[in-house]
Homo-oligomer: A and B are copies of this chain.
Amino acid sequence: MFSVMAHRVTFFPRNVSVEIPDGETVLDAAIAAGVQINSVCGGEGTCGKCQIIVEGPHKAERGPLDDQVWSRGYRLACRTLPEGDLSVFVPEESQVRVGKIMTSYRDLVVHPAGPLVDTLVAEMSAPSIEDHLADMERLRCALERPDLDIALPALRELPVALRSGNWKVMAKVARAGTGDCIIKVRPAVNGCHDLGAAVDIGTTTVAIELIDLHTGRTVAQASDYNRQLVAGEDVLARIAYAEDRGVGRLQELIIGTINQLVSDLCALRNAQEDLTCQIRADEIMALSVGGNTAMIHMLLGLDPRNIRYEPYIPITHGPPVLKASELGLNIHPLAPVYCIPGRASYVGGDVTADVLLSGMHRKDELALLIDVGTNGEVVLGNRDWMLTCSTSAGPAFEGGEVSCGMRATAGAIERVRMVDQNIDYTTIGRTAPRGICGSGLIDLVAQMFLNGHLDRKGHIQAEGSELARSTGKVVKFVIHTGEREIAITDDDIANIIRTKAAIYAGCSVLIDSVGMSFNDVDRVYIAGGFGGHIDIGNAQLIGLLPDLPRERFEFIGNGSLGGAKMCLISEESRKEAAGIFDAMTYLDLSSSHEFFDQYSSALFLPHTDMDQFPSVRRMLER
């Protein structure tokens, strides 16, 4: 009918090219080419993180870029339209960097029993003229499961397996919620153990483990950034992207991330010594997934839009067990894919997994669980009851909305100590500092406050400080000087205070709603992907964590990954996950006056009500 003009865009330093139709942006081209460019706002032109240098005919809007940056030739990828073939350089600071990402979690207490895919061995007599039962019915009979379902591909391979195995076979049985199903049959021989994978789909990071389904042992680990980052940094930006362009592209991106990790896992596993056999990706027979509600929707290609609008209703809390091939996952096509159920749009399966890993749902003691992520989900309860809420804390502790913020990868300042005007810090990987990650920010704000560089409202006290600088109206506090200055501003600190206030307020609302106080809490579990464990004392100093004795706190690490592993290898864990879903009551804080009051009271260091932080008061008094 008509032809659309196309432009070729080549990205450096990776030197990959892609052709896009006229009217699409350089960010669209980057997504199409698989080039990872930071895009916190999801292409809305507001975050200013997708800076590139363009060579060739183009039209660009300036967005939030300042004079200096603009005049040095920087453009925003999401606001640049090619008008011919382009070369695009993606500077280091705009690239999504891959580094070692923390994926550890508390040791599991669960042993394999009823994994998502089980191996049943069946031995039967050979058929004869008198005993003429068909192959499938003979197998069912030998397994004493007369109604066991069998998938068509397994049915097709059955006659050869039975006869070449001399009527002794192993049947791989997928435990799919509504019924078991044989997905593979082969002659019963000794060989490699069956493998499954557990995956945590974080909004930022995807972590995966390859697990021996018989021993429960983790045989390889890998992690990477979620490729969806090109479509926005947080859940809301991703949903907006899905509304705009369909969820299909986001599904492709997360499936692509997982498939790459699966391929990496297999390579890692096959590089190990003492192996009796190599494995292929299609020998991974099951996948268990932890993730927030939006991530699970995108994994399944379910339109997430209603998550974003009141009354915030997801399509499902816990999807049915699906087949890998339905999702495009490059493992065994019939491998069951199980997603841990979540309680609400903003308390997802990742939180259920945290609870599962903590074990708080099995104990009498009153526990408070805090997942310090973008949403800051909180769970309060014990074996008899559980309350949960999400605090919309914001991404300050994950490197977002803080000018010097970054994720917990190489070069991030993760620890800060301060004595008067002297700052001491350590970076991840002990490299030159590139920014400050969550644990570093908590330390920094706490130490600045303790040393008098911040007042209780979080304003930088510039007067008499060697580290504070004023430029026009902006006051900043410099942590590191040199080629790349690292400093924090009043605005940054305000964002950090808003984040910590939201989390603490969420905890307070839950505690108050059952007529208790923080002192009644026997244990506080901290979950989340911090670069290192956060310093409890500093977190209490800024009023993020309640003022309780240190020994009541316990870090459980990446609960989503740990919980996914538990559900992969244990039927009991899957039942417990369903039970946690049933047992949890969700409080929506979005229109809660109580929450707003608590939040407002927490917008101070550590809190308006110093009685809630007696040990901090004592420390400040010293």
Query: Which chain B residues lie closer than 8 Å to A590 at the CB level?
Result: 129
Determine whether the beta carbon of A156 is less than 8 Å from that of B302: yes
Measured between alpha carbons, how far is A568 from B306 in the docked complex, in Å?
38
Of A135, A148, A177, A591, most buried by chain B (CB within 10 Å of CB) is: A135
- Pick the contact of A156: B131, B133, B155, B303 (CB < 8 A): B303
A132: B residues at CB distance < 8 A: 311-313, 344-345, 586, 588
Of all chain B residues, which has the CB nearest A591? Answer: B129
Q: Is A21 engaged at the interface, CB distance under 8 Å to the other chain?
A: no
Is A147 a contact of B319 with CB atoms below 8 Å?
no
**Is A470 part of the binding interface, using a Cβ–Cβ cutoff of 8 Å?**
no
With both beta carbons as reference points, the residue of chain B lying nearest to A312 in the complex is identified as B132
| A178 CB within 8 Å of chain B | yes
Residues on A lying within 8 angstroms of B by beta carbon are 127-137, 147-150, 152, 155-156, 158-160, 177-179, 181, 300-303, 305-306, 310-317, 319-320, 322, 326, 344-345, 586, 588, 590-591
8 contacts between A and B (CB under 8 A): A129-B311, A132-B586, A135-B306, A136-B317, A152-B301, A152-B326, A159-B305, A179-B179
In the bound complex, CA of A320 to CA of B300 (Å): 26
> Could you tell me if A159 and B591 are in contact, using CB atoms closer than 8 angstroms?
no
Give, as a whole number of angstroms, the nearest-CB distance from A300 to chain B.
7
* Chain B residues within an 8 Å CB radius of A320: 149-150, 152, 155
Cα of A147 to Cα of B178 in the assembled complex, Å: 7
Q: Is A156's CB under 8 angstroms from B311's CB? A: no
The distance in angstroms between the C-alpha atoms of A326 and B252, with both chains bound, is 23
B588 touches A317 (CB 8 A): no
In the bound complex, CA of A345 to CA of B315 (Å)? 46
Interchain nearest-CB distance for A458 vs B (Å): 32
Taken together as a complex, chains A and B put the C-alpha atoms of A588 and B128 apart, in Å, by: 11
Complex Cα spacing A133 to B158, Å: 42
Q: Which of B134, B317, B588 contacts A134 (CB 8 A)?
A: B317
Give how many copies assemble into the complex.
2
Min CB gap A561→B, angstroms:
24
Known: A177-B147, A320-B150. A159 touches B315 (CB 8 A): yes
Distance in angstroms between the alpha carbons of A546 and B315 in the assembled complex: 65
Once the chains bind, are B588 and A315 in contact (CB under 8 Å)?
Answer: no
Q: Decide if B136 touches A315 in the complex (CB within 8 Å).
A: yes
A312 to B131, CA, bound (A): 10
Bound-state Cα–Cα, A575 to B515, Å: 57
CB distance from A219 to the nearest CB of B (A): 30
The chain B residue with its CB closest to the CB of A345 is B132
Question: Chain B residues near A130 (CB, 8 Å)?
Answer: 588
Interchain nearest-CB distance for A205 vs B (Å): 25
Asked if B135 and A316 sit within 8 Å, CB to CB, the answer is: yes
CB contacts (< 8 Å) of A133 on chain B: these are 313, 317
- A177–B158 Cα distance when bound, in Å, is 20
Q: Which residues of B contact A311 (CB under 8 A)?
A: 127-129, 131-132
**Across the interface, which residues of B come within 8 angstroms of A300, CB to CB?**
152, 155-156
Contacts beyond the supplied A159-B302, A160-B303: 9 A-B pairs with Cβ under 8 Å? A127-B313, A129-B312, A129-B591, A132-B312, A132-B344, A135-B316, A155-B302, A156-B301, A178-B181
Whether B310 lies near A135 (C-beta < 8 A) is: no
* Complex: A179 Cα to B136 Cα, angstroms: 19
**Min CB gap A334→B, angstroms:** 11
Which of A134, A137, A586, A590 has its CB near the most chain B CB atoms (within 10 A)?
Answer: A134
CB A333 to nearest CB in B, in angstroms, measures 12
A18 to B313 alpha-carbon distance, docked (Å)? 56
Max chain B Cβ within 10 angstroms of own Cβ: one of A131, A306, A590:
A306
- Known contacts being A149-B178, A315-B135, A315-B136, is A159 close to B303, with CB within 8 Å? yes
Q: B149 near A316 (CB under 8 angstroms)?
A: no
Give the residues in chain B near A181, CB-CB below 8 Å.
178
Is the CB–CB distance between A137 and B591 below 8 Å? Answer: no
**CA gap between A75 and B241 in the complex, in Å:** 66
**Residues in B whose Cβ lies below 8 Å from that of A135:** 306, 313-316
Chain B: CB-nearest residue to A131: B311
B148, B155, B312, B345: the one contacting A316 at CB < 8 Å is: B155
CA distance A306 to B147 in the complex (A): 23
CB closest residue in chain B, given A140 = B316
Q: Which residues of B contact A305 (CB under 8 A)?
A: 159
